[in-house]
């Protein structure tokens, strides 16, 4: 990651106005969006949008032809091009041929994409942005920081300063007053401009229409008052029919600004009459700019489903801290990273792809069902193939891929680490260049004995009491830092008559490598684990780490396929089918009547933190809540319980400056509940939150759900315990 990029990120993080404005908006957005979608089956709506937009992406050429024919039949001139410079030239020529000296514009990301304004201005044509946010951006000579609200990063007082400079009048930071200024300033321009330029939210092939959705009404004036109207439309805006367009119009305001419907929805179909009776000169420009290439890419094709609502930005824990300016390009956020890699070039995404913590919030909320985190991983993979991995990562992964060496180093690490660890097992300070790792949270020490050793000492059920066999996949953190978590898992399962083995040849799940784009390394981890875990005849492969569970259950097939190791796919599928996370298995065992909870008096009040993988990929976080309540815990939900804690695997090491404020917010939300115990199902989150609370000197305890269940889960009443009596 370049030094200048890190400096930009630091500047953004230290800009209180920016983080304040984005933080307030993002908090208000969540609740407001929920209200806007009340009574609507969001999943059904987005299934439909995804399906219709995927159809359009698969039939781009046909839709372009159909749109062109229908629009031309209604008097529009249609220009199709894949070349931004030809599009700029076309628009300039239209303006010059008609003697236009002033253009009014409504908001259009497509025109930003081809840098149209400076080009026209250099040719001596005045361009006036008429969308309030875009005008602010134009006056401050910035880039939009958000697809829908371009100046969201600025406070009203900053805007007042900008407008004061422009109008020569000292203006207060009052929104009503500022809106009046915009109205007053724009009115004259609408009346005197020779040309209006707009984008389009949707382009309908069956009618040759474009649809414009705005709240300010400026697009309606831009497209009706001047005698020439030019609309620049990216291919991704094409849909087949008006009913497809209606789906987009239904979702767009709710997802974008949490409104039931936008104030203005305009449909332009063919030439209209000017007030002198002449026909408007209507130019519809369909822009490819690598969209056709994207449609042909099996992985990235889905990005064309985007309806540019920006809700993915509104819920992104990283975007709300750094804003859009650091993305350095026209498009910001996770989807912006993908569009930059395509519409600009792959290497331009090299720094910004590193901002993504892979929390999955964007995927969960996207009305077009785009798997943004997966596509960002694909960018990482392609960058790694094209440019190679950084030296440090290469070194680390070469160790991780050598199981014996990796595990010996971890064992040996205990001696070194115990020298700097405190008596409570936390490392609070690391020396020299490692010091940043403990700046905002303590780290766990490596356990004196890993789980692979201590598990041998657990007295498991006698063979006659064993109902099923399970293999435990511990993952690195439970094996080497939190063996007591693994021991709890084994004890609980034993009570249901499950004998648990620990396949010694298991190794890192491969998630750290995959998340870094090192798919070859991840594939080797996958193969090692498939061999180790399928070596024994077990019913379940149990994991108590959601990231590992996702790796075993979901990722291996994709990873192996992407590196051409198809011969392992069948075994990867078998492993996937056997893999189950701890809490889901316990819930199943309770449902089968094999486990129950002791008649619990009220236990400690607690709050539950949802790990990102657990909540959004495994969709399992109801199970531990049900079990903990059944065990007697009163759960007090924290604000944003499913918001990332800032761990993100190696993210906390690679981007500590972002990980720290995300964790700080999580700790505040925990502290606000007033409880003394936090429970989670993820050892990574456990490490991050526990370390953060320790660093703050907080007495709040953090436990893995298995530890609580080991305290209270018992064999079904009336059923003899399958645990050996330690006194026997």
Torsions phi, psi of 387, nearest 5? -115, -5
Distance between CA atoms of 215 and 201, rounded to whole angstroms?
A: 13
With CB under 6 A as the contact rule, which of the stretches 195-203, 260-268, 350-358, 388-396 interacts with ligand SF4?
A: 350-358
With CB under 6 A as the contact rule, which of the stretches 59-67, 227-235, 301-309, 467-475 interacts with ligand SF4?
A: 301-309
Residue 436 DSSP label: G
Burial of 727 (0-12, 13-18, 19+ CB in 10 A): exposed
Distance between CA atoms of 246 and 43, rounded to whole angstroms?
A: 16
Distance between CA atoms of 115 and 234, rounded to whole angstroms?
A: 14
Return the HEC string of 140-162.
Answer: HCCCCCCCCCCCCCCCHHHHHHH
Torsions phi, psi of 555, nearest 5? -85, -30
By residue count, the chain amounts to 728
Cβ-contact 311, 251 below 8 angstroms: no
Of 332 and 586, CB closest to ligand SF4? 332
Verify binding: residue 529, ligand SF4, rule CB under 6 A: no
Burial of 190 (0-12, 13-18, 19+ CB in 10 A): middle
Give the residue, chosen from 100, 316, 471, 693, that forms a contact with ligand SF4 under the rule CB under 6 A. 316
With CB under 6 A as the contact rule, which of the stretches 92-100, 265-273, 360-368, 518-526 interacts with ligand SF4?
A: 360-368
Could you tell me which residues come within 8 angstroms of residue 225 by beta carbon, excluding any fewer than 6 positions away?
A: 104, 190, 191, 193, 196
Verify binding: residue 356, ligand SF4, rule CB under 6 A: yes
- What would the x/- binding string for ligand SF4 be over residues 216 to 255, using CB under 6 A? ---------------------------------------x
Assigned token pair, 345: 């070039």
Verify binding: residue 335, ligand SF4, rule CB under 6 A: yes
Verify binding: residue 309, ligand SF4, rule CB under 6 A: yes
- Residue 516 CB, nearest approach to ligand SF4 (Å): 14
Residue 552 DSSP label: I
Verify binding: residue 357, ligand SF4, rule CB under 6 A: yes
Of 309 and 617, CB closest to ligand SF4? 309
Cβ-contact 595, 588 below 8 angstroms: no
Of 334 and 517, CB closest to ligand SF4? 334
Assigned token pair, 558: 């994709």
Give the residue, chosen from 295, 366, 447, 660, that forms a contact with ligand SF4 under the rule CB under 6 A. 366
Distance between CA atoms of 255 and 309, rounded to whole angstroms?
A: 6
Distance between CA atoms of 668 and 149, rounded to whole angstroms?
A: 28
Cβ-contact 358, 511 below 8 angstroms: no
Cβ-contact 84, 289 below 8 angstroms: yes
Distance between CA atoms of 506 and 259, rounded to whole angstroms?
A: 50
Of 360 and 510, CB closest to ligand SF4? 360
- Residue 337 CB, nearest approach to ligand SF4 (Å): 7
Cβ-contact 239, 203 below 8 angstroms: yes
Verify binding: residue 110, ligand SF4, rule CB under 6 A: no
Distance between CA atoms of 456 and 1, rounded to whole angstroms?
A: 44
Of 367 and 510, CB closest to ligand SF4? 367
Give the residue, chosen from 362, 383, 526, 631, that forms a contact with ligand SF4 under the rule CB under 6 A. 362
Give the residue, chosen from 145, 266, 302, 311, that forms a contact with ligand SF4 under the rule CB under 6 A. 311
**Residue whose Cβ sits closest to ligand SF4:** 334
Give the residue, chosen from 150, 208, 373, 486, that forms a contact with ligand SF4 under the rule CB under 6 A. 373
Of 203 and 357, CB closest to ligand SF4? 357
Distance of CA 391 to the CA centre of its chain: 27
Torsions phi, psi of 596, nearest 5? -150, 175
Of 515 and 628, CB closest to ligand SF4? 515
With CB under 6 A as the contact rule, which of the stretches 233-241, 366-374, 380-388, 570-578 interacts with ligand SF4?
A: 366-374
Distance between CA atoms of 404 and 401, rounded to whole angstroms?
A: 9
With CB under 6 A as the contact rule, which of the stretches 181-189, 358-366, 444-452, 623-631 interacts with ligand SF4?
A: 358-366
Verify binding: residue 375, ligand SF4, rule CB under 6 A: no
Give the residue, chosen from 36, 87, 318, 586, that forms a contact with ligand SF4 under the rule CB under 6 A. 318
Give the residue, chosen from 56, 204, 304, 306, that forms a contact with ligand SF4 under the rule CB under 6 A. 306
With CB under 6 A as the contact rule, which of the stretches 340-348, 354-362, 398-406, 505-513 interacts with ligand SF4?
A: 354-362
- What would the x/- binding string for ligand SF4 be over residues 250 to 289, using CB under 6 A? -----x----------------------------------
Verify binding: residue 302, ligand SF4, rule CB under 6 A: no
The number of residues that bind ligand SF4 (CB under 6 A) is: 25
Closest CA to 29 of 152, 173, 180, 127: 152
Give the residue, chosen from 253, 360, 510, 661, that forms a contact with ligand SF4 under the rule CB under 6 A. 360
Assigned token pair, 470: 């399970």
Of 359 and 530, CB closest to ligand SF4? 359
Verify binding: residue 310, ligand SF4, rule CB under 6 A: yes
Helix, strand, coil in percent for the chain, rounding step 5: 55, 10, 35
- Residue 376 CB, nearest approach to ligand SF4 (Å): 6
Task: Tell me the three state secondary structure of residue 498.
Answer: strand
What are the Cα distances from residue 617, in Å, to 297, 522, 549, 652, 704? 24, 19, 10, 20, 19
With CB under 6 A as the contact rule, which of the stretches 73-81, 310-318, 389-397, 602-610 interacts with ligand SF4?
A: 310-318
Residue 545 DSSP label: -
Chain positions 119 to 148 lying near ligand SF4, rule: CB under 6 A, are none
Closest CA to 524 of 559, 573, 478, 551: 559
Give the largest CA-CA distance in the chain: 102
With CB under 6 A as the contact rule, which of the stretches 60-68, 309-317, 408-416, 590-598 interacts with ligand SF4?
A: 309-317
- Residue 353 CB, nearest approach to ligand SF4 (Å): 9
Distance between CA atoms of 250 and 260, rounded to whole angstroms?
A: 8
Of 337 and 705, CB closest to ligand SF4? 337
Give the residue, chosen from 195, 285, 287, 359, that forms a contact with ligand SF4 under the rule CB under 6 A. 359
- Residue 499 CB, nearest approach to ligand SF4 (Å): 38
Verify binding: residue 308, ligand SF4, rule CB under 6 A: yes
Of 220 and 320, CB closest to ligand SF4? 320
Q: Which residues contact ligand SF4 by CB under 6 A?
A: 255, 306-312, 316, 318, 334-335, 356-362, 366-368, 370, 372-373
């Amino acid at each position: 990651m370049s030094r200048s990029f890190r400096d930009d990120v630091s500047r953004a993080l230290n800009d209180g106005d920016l983080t304040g404005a984005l933080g307030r908006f993002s908090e208000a957005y969540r609740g407001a969006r929920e209200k806007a979608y009340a009574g609507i089956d969001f999943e059904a709506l987005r299934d439909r949008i995804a399906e219709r937009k995927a159809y359009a992406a698969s039939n781009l050429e046909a839709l372009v032809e159909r749109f062109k024919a229908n629009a031309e039949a209604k008097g529009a001139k249609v220009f199709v091009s894949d070349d931004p410079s030809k599009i700029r030239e076309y628009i300039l020529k239209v303006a010059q041929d008609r003697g236009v000296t002033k253009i009014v514009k409504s908001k259009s990301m497509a025109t930003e994409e081809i840098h149209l304004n400076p080009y026209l201005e250099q040719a001596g044509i005045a361009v006036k942005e008429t969308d309030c946010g875009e005008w602010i951006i134009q006056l401050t000579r910035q880039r939009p920081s958000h697809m829908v609200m371009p100046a969201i990063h600025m406070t009203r007082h900053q805007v007042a300063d900008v407008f004061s400079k422009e109008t020569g009048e000292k203006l207060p930071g009052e929104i009503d007053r500022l809106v009046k200024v915009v109205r007053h300033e724009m009115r004259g321009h609408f009346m005197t401009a020779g040309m209006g330029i707009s984008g389009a939210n949707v382009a309908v092939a069956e009618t040759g229409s474009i649809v414009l959705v705005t709240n300010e009404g400026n697009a309606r004036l831009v497209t009706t008052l001047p005698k020439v109207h030019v609309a620049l439309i990216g291919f991704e805006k094409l849909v087949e029919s008006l009913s497809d367009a209606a789906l987009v119009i239904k979702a767009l305001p709710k997802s974008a600004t949490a409104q039931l419907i936008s104030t203005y929805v305009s449909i332009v179909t063919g030439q209209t009459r000017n007030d002198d009776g002449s026909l408007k000169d209507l130019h519809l420009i369909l822009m490819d700019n690598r969209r056709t290439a994207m449609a042909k890419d099996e992985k990235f094709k889905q990005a064309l489903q985007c309806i540019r609502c920006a809700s993915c930005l509104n819920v992104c824990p990283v975007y709300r801290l750094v804003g859009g300016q650091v993305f350095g390009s026209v498009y910001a956020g996770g989807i912006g990273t993908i569009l930059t890699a395509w519409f600009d070039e792959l290497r331009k995404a090299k720094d910004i792809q590193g901002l993504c913590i892979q929390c999955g919030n964007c995927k969960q909320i996207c009305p077009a069902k785009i798997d943004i985190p997966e596509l960002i991983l694909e960018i990482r993979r392609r960058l790694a193939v094209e440019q190679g991995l950084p030296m440090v990562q290469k070194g680390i992964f070469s160790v991780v891929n050598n199981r014996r060496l990796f595990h010996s180093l971890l064992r040996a690490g205990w001696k070194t680490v115990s020298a700097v660890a405190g008596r409570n097992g936390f490392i609070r300070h690391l020396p020299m260049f490692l010091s940043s790792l403990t700046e905002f949270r303590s780290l766990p020490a490596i356990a004196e004995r890993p789980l692979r050793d201590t598990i041998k000492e657990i007295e498991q059920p006698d063979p006659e009491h064993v109902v099923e066999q399970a293999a435990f996949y511990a993952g690195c953190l439970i094996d080497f830092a939190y063996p007591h978590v693994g021991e709890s898992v084994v004890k609980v399962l034993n009570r249901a008559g499950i004998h648990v083995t620990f396949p010694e040849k298991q190794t890192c799940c491969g998630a750290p490598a995959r998340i870094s784009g090192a798919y070859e390394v991840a594939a080797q981890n996958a193969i090692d684990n498939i061999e180790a875990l399928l070596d024994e005849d077990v019913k379940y492969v149990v994991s108590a780490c959601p990231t590992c569970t996702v790796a075993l259950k979901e990722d291996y097939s994709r990873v192996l396929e992407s590196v051409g190791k198809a011969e392992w796919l069948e075994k990867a599928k078998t492993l996937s089918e056997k893999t189950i996370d701890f809490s889901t298995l316990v819930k199943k065992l309770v449902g089968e009547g094999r486990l129950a909870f002791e008649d619990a008096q009220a236990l400690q009040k607690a709050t539950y933190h949802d790990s990102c993988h657990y909540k959004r990929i495994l969709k399992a976080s109801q199970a531990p809540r049900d079990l903990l309540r059944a065990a007697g815990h009163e759960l007090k939900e924290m604000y944003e319980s499913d918001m990332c804690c800032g761990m993100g695997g190696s993210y906390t090491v690679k981007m500590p400056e972002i990980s720290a404020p995300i964790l700080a917010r999580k700790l505040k939300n925990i502290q606000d509940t007033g409880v003394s115990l936090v429970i989670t199902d993820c050892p990574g989150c456990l490490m991050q939150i526990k370390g953060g609370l320790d660093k703050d000197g907080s007495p709040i305890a953090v436990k893995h759900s298995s530890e609580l269940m080991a305290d209270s889960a018992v064999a079904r009443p009336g059923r003899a315990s399958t645990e050996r009596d330690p006194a026997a």
